[in-house]
Structure 1
């Protein structure tokens, strides 16, 4: 079992992001060897940057990723690193990713923060502080 919190020399945190991004034109390119290699590349990049993949699912035309990161790494930076590195390597290794689309990924992505405590609980906790 992994700990709920992570600590650094300045903070205690539990930050998770649900990230989704799609292939260009939603082309179903992420199958077979490309899917396997993409999972490996995403895992390698996350380990290199100190991020932890909680769950990952690669669909033929998009990626779902639940990743835990530190407070200094913005969601935009995480997506930029993952999409950039994976696109460069996959396009070099698999000609299908070069011939079917001008770029592997769309420019956009979806991000939602994921936490252990609901927004309602946090709001109630903050509002109750004056009452103590």
Structure 2
């Protein structure tokens, strides 16, 4: 099976490792909020024609390994998933809006994105097991 996907006139393999945080890097992504964010990400990535390869939602940040068609710019892709998940989470969990530090913003500004080439399997493992590695480092 080829790693390439097809559009009508294009063969493509565009994978990205994206990392972003909640506003002020608050450790809020747990329980119901975490599940809602995971569901939203799967929905909104799918709507843009992407595929979630790996997803790791931790208390204070998100790692997403995603395959995105070349017709979608990565900046508009990230803007859409961050914006749509923010709206959904703030509407579902109204208590977050009551805190003076949230306002109408759930995510911090900006994100980190890296293209994934030949080391895809290594990055996939990193995203999948990063939380376990972080816990081991904290316990030392």
Q: TM-score, normalised by structure 1?
A: 0.82
TM-fit CA distance, 1:22: 0.6
User: Between Structure 1 and Structure 2, how many residues are aligned?
Assistant: 117
Unmatched 5+ stretches in structure 2: 121-140
- The SS at the match of 2:34 is helix
The equivalent residue for 2:5 is 6
Match of 1:44 in 2: 43
Q: State how 1:62-77 maps to structure 2 within 5 Å.
A: 62-77=61-76
Partner SS, residue 81 of structure 2:
helix
1:79-114 deviations in Å (ceiling 9; x for gaps): 111000000010000124323422100111000000
Asked whether the equivalents of residues 16 and 69 of structure 1 are also in contact (C-alpha less than 8 Å), the reply is yes
Which residue number corresponds to residue 105 of structure 1? Answer: 107
Task: Give the 4+ runs in structure 1 shifted more than 6 A.
Answer: none
Aligned residue number for residue 115 of structure 1: 117
Q: Where do 1:14-33 residues align within 5 Å?
A: 14-33=13-32
Matched-pair contact (CA < 8 Å) for 1:29–1:97: no
Partner of 1:53: 52
Question: What is the RMSD computed on CA atoms of the aligned residues?
Answer: 1.6
> How far apart are the structure 1 equivalents of 2:65 and 2:56?
9
Q: What are the ranges of 5 or more consecutive residues in structure 1 without an aligned counterpart?
A: 119-132
Larger Rg: 1
